[in-house]
Amino acid sequence: MKKKLKELAEFVGGTVVGDGEVEITGVGPIEGARPGEITFIAHPKFLSKLSETAASAVIVSPEITQAKQSLLSVKNPQLAFAKILTLYTSQPYQPKGIDSRSWISPSAQLGKELTIYPFVYVGDRCRIGDRVTLYPGVYVGEEASIGEDSILYSNVSVHDRTAIGKRVILYSGVVVGSDGFGYVKDGKKNVKIPQVGWVEIEDDVEIGANTTIDRAAFGKTDLRRGVKIDNLAQIAHNVVVGEDSIIVAQVGIAGSTKIGSNVTLGGQVGIVDHIEVGDNVMVAAQAGVMHNLPPNQVYSGGPAIPHRENLKMVAALSKLPEMKKILNEIEKRLKKIEETLSSGGKEK
Amino acid sequence: MKKKLKELAEFVGGTVVGDGEVEITGVGPIEGARPGEITFIAHPKFLSKLSETAASAVIVSPEITQAKQSLLSVKNPQLAFAKILTLYTSQPYQPKGIDSRSWISPSAQLGKELTIYPFVYVGDRCRIGDRVTLYPGVYVGEEASIGEDSILYSNVSVHDRTAIGKRVILYSGVVVGSDGFGYVKDGKKNVKIPQVGWVEIEDDVEIGANTTIDRAAFGKTDLRRGVKIDNLAQIAHNVVVGEDSIIVAQVGIAGSTKIGSNVTLGGQVGIVDHIEVGDNVMVAAQAGVMHNLPPNQVYSGGPAIPHRENLKMVAALSKLPEMKKILNEIEKRLKKIEETLSSGGKEK
Amino acid sequence: MKKKLKELAEFVGGTVVGDGEVEITGVGPIEGARPGEITFIAHPKFLSKLSETAASAVIVSPEITQAKQSLLSVKNPQLAFAKILTLYTSQPYQPKGIDSRSWISPSAQLGKELTIYPFVYVGDRCRIGDRVTLYPGVYVGEEASIGEDSILYSNVSVHDRTAIGKRVILYSGVVVGSDGFGYVKDGKKNVKIPQVGWVEIEDDVEIGANTTIDRAAFGKTDLRRGVKIDNLAQIAHNVVVGEDSIIVAQVGIAGSTKIGSNVTLGGQVGIVDHIEVGDNVMVAAQAGVMHNLPPNQVYSGGPAIPHRENLKMVAALSKLPEMKKILNEIEKRLKKIEETLSSGGKEK
């Protein structure tokens, strides 16, 4: 693909500083970009890198007004970069049809222009939307539905009655709709509580490799529109994750907990069951959330508390061995003073 | 299915308060239950919900003696609920036979009434018990055995010589019997220690999606009768988990550690190698267990200590920045006193 | 296999103490070894076990010079044991050919003496080296390459353009080359940043079951020669792991972080993005690494600090409730002294 810089500026709603006629043939990172490519810098502090890159044009924020290259000036350079990169790298969808080595139930309802690779299993009464892609080893259980333009990569398992929206991406090894972890003790014996609910994955959700999403005990586990989950996360039964929330790798969310919209959970965060995390909350990596978190704040630590308080605590913690020493010393000085006083106020 | 309430009471060993003739057609959660359904409340504190539910009957503990609905009074309402829910939702097993798209070794010993889906691989000299179900993408290595009535969901891998008991459930993506993580340094180079042991999974064990159970270096990794493991947990080589223990999601247990019976490990707990966790121990979520844990106690924190001590420590921790301030202040006051004393005992 | 003890001593560069003619027919652990077998003890402190084992010979370090059995004396007994165990247990490779139930692209370049099981998918323009083994359910995307003598166990997914070296082992459920987790906010909406890079896995790397390795945004995610990774770890886009490093189960490494060579990361460690961990570093289990770590040291804690400092801090922490008490008491004593002094230096 070839576009003039001025065309790209128009595409992302930015303006050109310098030569808008320069032809852009590709997109690259600041260090590795080659002549003809466009790159970006996320922040004026990386300004010095502009002189080193071989890129023919650079997407920058409006503070930057001068460079040896042509500039594409735009409020959010990273977003503009993502859009232009998508423009240059996305391929038009080309259906490959249904491979005869797959097994598709005769009772499944199939959309148009599908791509179904070998060794795919589609169960009874499933509904598969138009232009869905199912890679090798995908398993789709009975009465599951998959919305149009969704992609399920190799070895994904989608269990009975799961409802998947449009433009969803499930990466390899994802498991959706296996039983929630519910037992009740009968003496010492664990008696299984049947998990008769289901999972709903709404439009534009993406789920990372080997992440697991359990079906609800009753009702549904619900990942709302635009949720993005990284690899190896665990979403337990009846959890709700609000729109546009971001869940980083290896997070675990226990049963029935409700995550608000536009939340960000850092890597390896753990959240207990039956609590609520408010909208726009950010939780730092490895935090352990044990209580409801009010909205619009940043939390960290285990147990998770407001991030500023936690920072103070961590700072104090690093002083702890020193504090202990000081405390010992104070006790000695105090004892000495008390002896002085008891002996009539004069120092020995 | 339709049962009279008095029949259900008899089934779970409870008694009816109110009309025992009411016909129960299903089971529901307290909020969503419909007329004709039975529900339960776990605790008298949820009593207020009784007036809101549309359920025709409610399973309650004996403290509750009055409601607008008929009551099924029983010592452990949740257990009774699980049993009744199982009664209403479990389907009689119907074998589907062996799909011709699978590959079954001619030397495998096959039980009766199997369900083997397409794309299943069963290796040489395996033994598959009666009424076993193998979903698409299951791999069973050589000389593995699977006891009767067990279910292996899609894309499960069971490696050579693994022994699986009766009524075991392995959820999608579980890996049993891949090599333990054993290396010895030769200078900086890592030399692999062959893992020549195996895994035994005893009767009534259930293992959650994408959990991994490594084969032993020598001898066996052993999950005893009734153990229940959640998703994405890691059980290393030569670990033993005692009967009826519960392991929540994302727990990691390092090599050769022995977990007692009736233990509960909370989510994301990590346990070091070569230690012992006593019977009936509970370990709170995210704890890091670094030493043997005596039986019959609750532990939390990292490193894990008795839960009460940890609670005190966490409480003290939150006061730490304040303590630091107080300490600074004390030092000043102390200095002032010492100056006073050294100048003859009088304040300046 | 049968070897004389003196032959084994020669094989591992050790010396025999006692009868070098004794015939060794197998290898066993100290507790379970049978007559005819050789075993080892890792440390003189396990000396007492020598009298209990039925093994016919024991590999020991040079400090041990006497026992009822014949001894094989060598500087690193565990290493010698690993080598002898490999000698006794490794089978010569026997190619099984390409099963007709697999799907191999006509444009794939295939080496000699392959073992490709049923239900394997090999995409367009892949290169598969000599003596490669692909177990059932393996997916190899377009233009991926797999070096000679590598083994991919069941249900492994290797995505487009991944480059895998020689003698690599990927255990069941491993996912290599799925998209890195990169989004940029457009208001609240998450816009995907295309991940156009790839993954390189160099020679002699081994990756544990269900571990995930993401493709780079640009350029490559790189696991260098001899890296060993345990189960359920997460390696994000553009991470580099240096030669011979060891990564234990459930570790998470965030984007663009560089791990040095000969590093050891304990179980469940989390490491933030864009930092560097120096050569020969060891990080204790469950630590949270938030800053660059200089080489050749041991770190622990969250946030991770030098291990000795962390030990002091943890020790101080356990005294914290007591410190708080002491502090309260000191304040009282101080107040009393101040009152004494203000009333003229005499005690009341």
Its ipTM equals 0.95
pLDDT tens figures, A265-305 = 999 999 999 999 999 999 999 999 999 999 999 999 999 99
pLDDT tens figures, A183-206 = 999 999 999 999 999 999 999 999
CA distances from A229 to A17, A209, A245, B326, C37 (A): 38, 9, 8, 44, 51
The Cα angle at residue A252 between residues A247 and A257, in degrees rounded to 5: 85
pTM: 0.96
Nearest to C134 by CA among A292, A136, B289: A136
Q: Identify the pLDDT of residue C142.
A: 98
Q: Identify the pLDDT of residue C128.
A: 98
Q: Is the CB of residue A246 less than 8 Å away from at least one CB of chain C?
A: yes
CA distance A305 to A104: 50
Residues of C in contact with B175 (CB under 8 A): 171-173, 209-210, 231
Q: Identify the pLDDT of residue C348.
A: 45
Q: Is the CB of residue B335 less than 8 Å away from at least one CB of chain C?
A: no
Answer whether B286 sits within 8 Å of A270, measured CB to CB.
yes
Taking CA atoms, what residue in C is nearest to B101? Answer: C101
Q: Identify the pLDDT of residue B346.
A: 54
Judged by DSSP in three states, B281 sits in: coil
Q: Print the SS3 string covering chain A.
A: CCEEHHHHHHHHCCEEECCCCCEECEECCCCCCCCCEEEECCCHHHHHHHHCCCCCEEEECCCCCCCCCEEEECCCHHHHHHHHHHHHHCCCCCCCEECCCCEECCCCEECCCCEECCCCEECCCCEECCCCEECCCCEECCCCEECCCCEECCCCEECCCCEECCCCEECCCCEEEECCCCEEEECCEEEECCCCCEEEECCCCEECCCCEEECCCCCEEEECCCCEECCCCEECCCCEECCCCEECCCCEECCCCEECCCCEECCCCEECCCCEECCCCEECCCCEECCCECCCCEEECCCCEEHHHHHHHHHHHHCHHHHHHHHHHHHHHHHHHHHHHHCCCCCC
Residues of A in contact with C188 (CB under 8 A): 243-244, 261-262
Residue C193 in contact with residue C217, Cβ under 8 Å? yes
pLDDT, average across residues A243-254: 98
Judged by DSSP in three states, C57 sits in: strand
Q: Identify the pLDDT of residue A339.
A: 87
Answer whether B323 sits within 8 Å of A316, measured CB to CB.
yes
Q: Is the CB of residue A264 less than 8 Å away from at least one CB of chain C?
A: no
pLDDT tens figures, A310-325 = 999 888 888 888 888 8
pLDDT, average across residues A175-184: 98
Asked if residue A345 has pLDDT above 60, the reply is: no
> Is B43 designated active site?
no
Spell out a b/e string for A128-157, using b for 16 or more CB atoms within 10 Å of the CB, else e. bbebbbbbbbbbbbebbbbbbbbbbbbbbb
CA distance C202 to C169: 11
CA distance B223 to B241: 5
Average pLDDT along chain A: 95
Residue C299 in contact with residue C284, Cβ under 8 Å? yes
Residues of A in contact with B330 (CB under 8 A): 330
Task: Record the tokens describing residue B227, joined without a space.
Answer: 């153990």
Q: Is the CB of residue C119 less than 8 Å away from at least one CB of chain B?
A: yes
CA distance B174 to B210: 4
pLDDT, average across residues A260-264: 98
Answer whether C345 sits within 8 Å of A342, measured CB to CB.
no
Q: Catalytic site residues of C?
A: 237
Nearest to C224 by CA among C208, C246, C250: C246
Count contacts between A and C (CB, < 8 Å).
183
Nearest to B15 by CA among B66, B78, B71: B71
Q: Print the SS3 string covering C11-49.
A: HHCCEEECCCCCEECEECCCCCCCCCEEEECCCHHHHHH
CA distance A48 to A57: 15
Angle between helix C77-89 and C5-12 (nearest 10): 120
Q: Is the CB of residue A285 less than 8 Å away from at least one CB of chain C?
A: yes
Residues of B in contact with A254 (CB under 8 A): 248-249, 267, 285
Structure-token match 């350029």, residue found: C219
- Cis omega (within 30 of 0) for bond into B303: yes
Name the residue among B32, B232, B286 with its Cβ closest to that of A212.
B232
Name the residue among C171, C286, C345 with its Cβ closest to that of B345.
C345
CA distance B181 to B188: 17
Give Cα B262 to chain centroid, integer Å.
Answer: 11
CA distance A252 to B267: 8
Nearest to C101 by CA among B288, A78, B40, A136: A136
The residues, any chain, with a CB within 8 Å of residue C187's CB and separated by 6 or more, are none
Furthest C-alpha separation in chain B: 103
Which one of B78, B116, B119, B280 would you mutate to disrupt binding with A, by most A Cβ within 10 Å of its Cβ?
B119
Answer whether A178 sits within 8 Å of B79, measured CB to CB.
no
Task: Record the tokens describing residue B41, joined without a space.
Answer: 């409340």
Task: Record the tokens describing residue A260, joined without a space.
Answer: 């608000």
- Give Rg (Cα) of chain B: 28
Name the residue among C79, C206, C230 with its Cβ closest to that of B186.
C79
DSSP letters for C215-247? PPSSSEEEE-TT-EE-TT-EE-TT-EE-TT-EE
The residues, any chain, with a CB within 8 Å of residue A149's CB and separated by 6 or more, are A93, A129, A130, A131, A132, A166, A167
pLDDT tens figures, A114-160 = 999 999 999 999 999 999 999 999 999 999 999 999 999 999 999 99
Structure-token match 């367009």, residue found: C124
The one-letter amino acid at C89: T
Q: Identify the pLDDT of residue C272.
A: 98
Strands C127-128 and C109-110: parallel
Low-confidence ranges of chain C (pLDDT < 70): 345-348
- Neighboring chains of C (3 or more beta-carbon pairs < 8 A): A, B
Name the residue among C286, C337, C338 with its Cβ closest to that of B302.
C286
Spell out a b/e string for C110-131, using b for 16 or more CB atoms within 10 Å of the CB, else e. beeebbbbbbbbbbeebbbbeb
Residue B137 in contact with residue A154, Cβ under 8 Å? no
Residue B96 in contact with residue B102, Cβ under 8 Å? no
Q: Is the CB of residue C181 less than 8 Å away from at least one CB of chain A?
A: yes
Asked if residue A108 has pLDDT above 80, the reply is: yes
Q: Is the CB of residue A211 less than 8 Å away from at least one CB of chain C?
A: no
% of chain A surpassing 90 pLDDT: 82
For every one of its 348 residues, what pLDDT tens digit does chain B have, with 9 covering 90 and above?
899 999 999 999 999 999 999 999 999 998 889 999 999 997 778 888 888 899 999 999 998 888 889 999 999 999 999 999 999 999 899 999 999 999 999 999 999 999 999 999 999 999 999 999 999 999 999 999 999 999 999 999 999 999 999 999 999 999 999 999 999 999 999 999 999 999 999 999 999 999 999 999 999 999 999 999 999 999 999 999 999 999 999 999 999 999 999 999 999 999 999 999 999 999 999 999 999 999 999 999 999 999 999 999 888 888 888 888 888 888 888 888 888 888 875 554
User: Phi and psi for A109 in degrees, rounded to 5?
Assistant: -95, 120
Residues of B in contact with C136 (CB under 8 A): 103, 121, 139
Q: Identify the pLDDT of residue A68.
A: 87
Task: Record the tokens describing residue C54, joined without a space.
Answer: 């039925």
- In sequence order, the β-bridge partners of residue A37 are A26
Q: Is the CB of residue C232 less than 8 Å away from at least one CB of chain B?
A: yes
Domains and CATH numbers, chain A: 3-89 (3.40.1390.10), 97-308 (2.160.10.10)
Answer whether B119 sits within 8 Å of C119, measured CB to CB.
yes
